[in-house]
Amino acid sequence: MSDMAMLRKQFAEPPVEARSAPFWAWNDKLDIEELMRQIEGMKEQGIGGFFMHAREGLETEYLGEEWMEAVEASVMKAEQLGMEAWLYDEDRWPSGTAGGKVPSIGDEYRSKGLTVEVLQECGRGTASEPYHADDRTVALFRARIDNMQLHNCDRLPLAEPVMTLEADEALLVFRVEVSAPSEWFNDQAPPDSMNPEAVRRFIDETYEVYKAKVGDRFGQTIKGVFTDEPSVNDRHCRFTEGRGWVPWTYSYPDFFKSRRGYDLLDEVPHLFFDGDRSSWVRHDYWRTVSEKFTDAFSKQLYDWCDNNGLSFTGHYLQEDKLGLGTRVGGAIMPHYRYQHIPGIDMLTESTDEHMTVKQCTSVANQYGRKRVLSETYGCAGWEFTFEGQKWIGDWQYALGVNLRSQHLALYSIKGCRKRDYPPVFNYNTSWWKYNRVVEDYFARLGAVLTEGRAVRDILVLHPASTAWSLLGSDPYGMPNRGRDRDIPGINRYGDEFNRLLRALLGAHHDCDLGDETIMSEIGEVKPGKMIIGQAAYKAVVMPSITTMLRATYELLLQFLEAGGRVVAMRPLPMMLEGRTSEDLDKLTNHPRFTAVADTVGVIEWLDHGSGLSRQVSIRGQHGTEEDGLLHMLRKSKGCSSLFIVNNDRNRGHDARVETAVIGTVEEWDALTGEVRQVESWLCEGKLRFRASFEPAGSKLYMIDESAAPAAQAPAQSPPAFNDNDLYAAFGPRFRFTRSMPNVLTLDHCRYQMQGGSWSEQMEVWQAQRHIRDTLGMRQVFYNGITQRYKWIGERHPNDGTEVLFRFEFHVDEVPESECSLALEGAERFRIHCNGEELASTAEGWFMDRSISCVKLSGVRKGINELILDCKYTNDMEMEDIYVLGDFGVSPERRIIAEPTVLHAGDWCLQGYYHYCGSMIYHLDYENHHEPDYRAHLKLGEVSAVVAEVRVNGVTAGHIPWRAADGLDITGFLAEGGNRLEIEVMGSPRNVFGPFHGARGKARVTSWGSFRTKGKEHTPDYITFPYGIMGQIKLMRSKGGSRL
């Protein structure tokens, strides 16, 4: 029986597991009532579950009694609403410390490094006096070196003092050092994640604690646990300055010897210096790091979850960078063996990390893991749009992801929290009422794309072992891990590999990656096929590598002998496991082995020399593969799904799609849930159909293999419309209404302490920095400090110091109605406006329940002065304040008369400079129905998070991205007069910033984006444009054609 009916039902009614589960950041003093309210809001907006994630700003003790009560209440609420609850295993990240408890036990549990000190007569030290090894020293060498070059070395006994060195000799001192503490880890050191006992204690302090409280819901409402960015080299690791180091644990030498058969300490100079044995020592070292880290951390957590009915998920550090990923973990892909739901993170608004996604989805395919999770969208900024969500999400789904975890749904945006890598996916973002639109879209996709098996005939060898052989460490110290000597070069090598993958995907040769560790465990050969677990491949692509495992070499030889084919990019490998080997000649000289010069040669070989039958072809108007379009083909029983994505945000593509799967074709519209028949035909034994893709557009096709397509191509459809098909044009002047009060953000002030003189004007965060410095209080202007629950209840000797903040704003036209002042902690201030004291009693809130609104009376024409007087305490976070009301705000940030009409273009420049709500554009249209024609509304160029279209008060649909423009409103139009409303949704970007970054929009939005100084700062205000930018047009089309 075909799976078509099951898929059709799931598409129409996506199950909860197809819906997203955002990182719900618990980041303040938790209130059960507020937690329940937010869960209800998530349910209402189409979200399927949530990860309970301790985050920056938390004021409830992590894993304490109140925390566990909040967890239990949230789990029970999720169960009541039919949602999924997920655990997150750490206070902030990375995982492994239980909020600092594990490393607090002692050095055994703290991150360690094997450091090297270079002592020379001339240069970096002295050995003119006898040298006695200290108790941390594990190896000593007399060596001849030339900067990074090692000419020779001899290991010396530790018990004997080193008396003399020759003039050209150096003494190399290798010590095991324990990392210094960091406030990021609540004033503890990072964890030792290669120590199985440290990980066991982590399980006891975290996983077992949750089990004791809510273990009865494991495998039911509580679906699993997320582990976040564990590593063997955290960025906060600190050892003696001026010494190079590599990750270590006390048991590492014995573990290494058991795996590799020799004493690593005999060879450690080759980890740092370049010598004749460096490639194989480094290869063996990082290979063993990978094995030890994977066994100690991921396997233990996986086994615990497996035994307790939970799905283990999460992501690993630096998946996107081959060099840095090797440095912090040895290898990425072997960890995914030990995840029930393999996961990645995909931060920023970009779609270029093909290696990141493919590393994960390949292992999922090989191990038969149905779901693949992505922690996604973080750092994209407050202005992030629904089209951005679609563009990034579609690309990931085409590569095999099928579950989104949005980064972040903030419990609170009070204080520092609003700068925690926005955007925010919760009630405290202005577009939240529309979240279900994009949620339903991805739920429908996920409901289909989790079923069946991906069709991939090609295996691409992952170059992890080459990275192992190349990666040493600067013996003279490193400024940070990302700039260690060899890492930038290996990262560039990884970038080349990433470009190879992009080229293969753009040529529509979908592929999996082959990790050599995994291949050595579950790889086998059958006639004409390379088998890795549950996946089978007919061809292997070898990128330009220098080495491979002997097990890989033997598997490839078997594959060639069994009729398989291999193509390799020059230069060809010369080493096995980092050691030069002539055995490779047998592989590279095999008649079924082909060497090519570059990526073009690989694709040409796949097209014409591999003997493979192409599964999918997507050709553009010039008859070549359209590389802007990506795809995934999944085979189910009796049917197949084909998801095609336009990864190009700037232009559309017309294409002819061809596939080896034969049947009738339907397009399943994931935005609306509609199903349409697609004209298709047979040609030379392949199924063909035509398709058009708007910028960032995508289409989901279902192929029913039980029915036959047409025998010949249908006539080419005429264009959807032409210049004569205009019903009406609206604008460029529009009547409009706001959905929220207008806003003037006040982010500059002066301050006064204890009756002293007023300071100069400065940004609010700088004023607070000066105040806390003067009072001897810890700084709170940046994110990453010791978690607040550790110190928030402690009294400070200078608590209660009188501090005044003075704000000014200009009014050219006094508003007719009363204004409000929005600020955090209103009850802690005496507030005066132009000398008149205001009631500080909150009357509602703005954006977040922590931002209170108070009545603002006494506003006058000219300069207005607000003075906020408080008894400053250590727990306070002084933030920008906001004037709200019915007024306009000029680009000069002065309150002016509100405009009566909006013109096409940026509304920021028309009186709404800091506005964060939506604008409703009002149109009138006289309709005269024409049989057989459809009316499509085209907004054209619009800058918005999302737009809603209402006709005569009824929602006709949403336009969340350009590909959805041209909304069919025919069925909503009445004969005669009609009222059209276009609600264009803004974002919090122009109220919260960042405003003063000299570089403008950056790839990453973090707390630092809001705290610029020096050349990175501009005093001007940079806002993001919003609004309908041109005329709105109502077009007609024949029949059911779509514009």
Tokens of 892: 């000069």
Q: Write the class of the CATH domain 728-732+902-1038.
A: mainly beta
User: Across residues 242-268, what is the average pLDDT?
Assistant: 98
> pLDDT at residue 149 above 90?
yes
Residue ranges of alpha helices (H) inside 172-225 are 196-202, 208-214
Q: Which of 174, 142, 195 is nearest to 246 (CA)?
A: 174
**What is the number of residues in the chain?**
1043
| Helix, coil or strand: residue 396 | helix
Q: How many CB atoms lie within 10 A of CB 757?
A: 7
| Helix, coil or strand: residue 679 | coil
> pLDDT at residue 627 above 70?
yes
Tell me the pLDDT tens digit for each residue of 122-133: 433 444 578 999
> pLDDT at residue 255 above 70?
yes
Distance CA 118, CA 158 (A): 16
Q: How many CB atoms lie within 10 A of CB 79?
A: 15
Higher pLDDT, 111 or 718: 111
| Helix, coil or strand: residue 805 | strand
Contact residues for 1003 (Cβ-Cβ < 8 A; gap 6+): 348, 349, 350, 379
Tell me the pLDDT tens digit for each residue of 914-958: 999 999 999 999 999 899 899 999 999 999 999 999 999 999 999
Q: How many CB atoms lie within 10 A of CB 712?
A: 8
Contact 893, 744 (CB under 8 A): yes
> pLDDT at residue 1040 above 60?
no
Distance CA 22, CA 374 (A): 10
Residue ranges of alpha helices (H) inside 294-352 are 300-307, 322-329, 333-336
* CA-to-CA separations, 462 to 381, 465, 509, 514, in angstroms, rounded: 33, 8, 16, 6
Q: Which of 320, 255, 319, 265 is nearest to 289 (CA)?
A: 255
Tell me the pLDDT tens digit for each residue of 349-384: 999 999 999 999 999 999 999 999 999 999 999 999
Which architecture, in CATH terms, is 17-105+192-241+292-453? Alpha-Beta Barrel (3.20)
Backbone angles phi, psi at 307, to 5 degrees: -75, -15
> pLDDT at residue 1042 above 80?
no
Distance CA 470, CA 286 (A): 10
| Helix, coil or strand: residue 1021 | coil
Contact 146, 269 (CB under 8 A): no
Quick check: do 728-732+902-1038 and 742-885 share a fold?
Answer: yes
What's the CA angle centered on 763, arms 762 and 769, to 5 degrees? Answer: 90
Tell me the pLDDT tens digit for each residue of 847-857: 999 999 999 99
Tokens of 666: 């339907």
Contact 350, 324 (CB under 8 A): no
Residue ranges of alpha helices (H) inside 429-563 are 435-449, 464-470, 487-506, 516-522, 550-561
Tell me the pLDDT tens digit for each residue of 35-94: 999 999 999 999 999 999 999 999 999 999 999 999 999 999 999 999 999 999 999 999
Q: What is the pLDDT of residue 128?
A: 59
Q: How many CB atoms lie within 10 A of CB 649?
A: 16
Q: How many CB atoms lie within 10 A of CB 728?
A: 17
Tell me the pLDDT tens digit for each residue of 755-807: 999 999 999 999 999 999 999 999 999 999 999 999 999 999 999 999 999 99
Distance CA 602, CA 609 (A): 9
Contact 23, 53 (CB under 8 A): yes
Tokens of 995: 């405003």
Distance CA 102, CA 190 (A): 9
Q: How far does the chain reach from its first CA to its final CA, in angstroms?
A: 37
Q: What is the pLDDT of residue 722?
A: 62
**Residues pairing with 312 in the sheet:** 225
Q: Can you tell me which residue has the tokens 């033997």?
A: 554
Distance CA 763, CA 944 (A): 29
223, burial (CB in 10 Å: exposed 0-12, middle 13-18, buried 19+): buried
Mean pLDDT of the chain: 96
Helix axes 354-367, 487-506, angle to 10 degrees: 70
What is the secondary structure of 131-180 as a DSSP string?
B---TTEEEEEEEEEETTEEEEEEEE-TTSPB----TT-EEEEEEEEEPP
Q: Which of 45, 46, 50 is nearest to 77 (CA)?
A: 50
Q: Which CATH fold would you assign to the domain 742-885?
A: Jelly Rolls (2.60.120)
Tokens of 423: 């955007």
Q: Write the class of the CATH domain 616-717.
A: mainly beta
Distance CA 735, CA 513 (A): 56
Domain ranges of the chain: 17-105+192-241+292-453, 112-178, 616-717, 728-732+902-1038, 742-885
Radius of gyration of the chain from Cα atoms?
A: 31
**Residues pairing with 681 in the sheet:** 688, 710
> pLDDT at residue 738 above 60?
yes
> pLDDT at residue 425 above 90?
yes
Distance CA 596, CA 606 (A): 11
